[in-house]
Structure 1
C-alpha cells in the first residue's frame, strides 16, 4: 500500500494501515482480516496482547524493529521487565487461511474480551483487533475525546 505512515528506514518497508472494519468471529475463534491489510501483513505476522484490551498485529519486519527496541530496555528496571514479559509472552505467529481469516488463540481472545464481533482498525504501522463492546466503550470515554487528545498532542508538538 502507498502511504506516508509507518515508514521504517531500517527495512525500507512502508506500512499504512488505516480504517475501521467490523467482522464476526466464528466458533473456532477466527476473524477475517480486511483485504486492504492482508498484503502488508504478509503470509506470517505477529499477534500479541495490546494495550487498552485490544490485540496488536505486526508485519514481521515491523515486529523485528520493535523487538530490537524492547531488547534494549534496561533489564534492571522492573517496569521494563514487566512490559517485555507482557508483550512477548502473549505473542504468537499468525497466518491467513484461504478466506483471509486468522485464528486468534484463546488466551488472546480472553485478553481482548473477543466473543462474537470484532472491530479491526489500522493504526499506521500495526493493525489492532478489538472486541466490538470494548471498542465502543473506548470511544465513549470522555477522557479520550478527540478535542482533548488534540490538545495534548499539541503540547507534544504534533
Structure 2
C-alpha cells in the first residue's frame, strides 16, 4: 500500500495537464505502472489514486450488497466521474475537464498527498479550507486520536506494570 507524503503546487497547462513533481513521482508504487484513477472527492476536490490502490478500494466497495438502495447510491456517487489516467513520458497527467470544473480548478493546483491518495485542490479553495483551522487544534487531535490507545501500546509504554489479579468472590 502506498503511503504518500507531501504538499505540492502545480500548474495546469493549456491542455489541462499537470506535471507531477519528481518528489511525488518517486513515491508512486511500481505496481501502479504509472497509471491512476481520478474521481470526485467528498469535498470540492479530486482524488487521485494509483491504479493498484484504486483496485484495492473498489474491491472493498464491491463487497457491498447492491440490493440495498443506499449502497447502490453510494457506489454510483463514488464512481461518478472516475477516469483512468496514465503518466506520459514527461511525467504529466491529462485531467478531465468535467472533473476540473467540479473542483473549480482552472490554473493552480495543490496536491495534498497522504495515506494512499493524492487530493487535487484549487489553490484558492485549499487555502480557504485550511485557513479555517480549528481554534483549538490540540483539542481536536485529542478527540480524534485520543481514543486510539490499545492494551498492546500500553504494554509497550509500561512493560513492568501489571494489574493485580481480581479477588475471588467470597461470601460470608
1:37 aligns with 2:24: yes
* Residue 134 (structure 1) aligns with: 125
Residue from 20, 27, 32 that aligns with 2:7: 20
Distance in 1, Cα, partners of 2:66 & 2:136: 36
Answer whether contact 2:20 2:91 (CA < 8 A) is retained.
yes
**Structure 1 residue 142 displacement after superposition:** 4.4
Provide Cα deviations, 1:85-140, integer angstroms capped at 9, x if missing partner. 12212111111122211111011101111011000111111111111011111102
Look at both structures and tell me which one has the larger radius of gyration over its CA atoms: 2
Structure 1 stretches lacking a partner, 5+ long: 1-6, 8-14
Distance in 1, Cα, partners of 2:58 & 2:41: 14
1:99 aligns with 2:86: no
CA distance 1:156–1:92, shift in 2 (3 Å): farther
Give the structure-1-normalised TM-score. Answer: 0.81
Give the structure-2-normalised TM-score. Answer: 0.75
Between 132-141 and 32-41, the greater mean CA deviation after superposition: 32-41
Residue from 51, 54, 76 that aligns with 2:42: 51
**Structure 1 residue 78 displacement after superposition:** 3.3
Structure 2 stretches lacking a partner, 5+ long: 150-172
Aligned residues: 145
- Secondary structure class of the residue paired with 2:65: coil
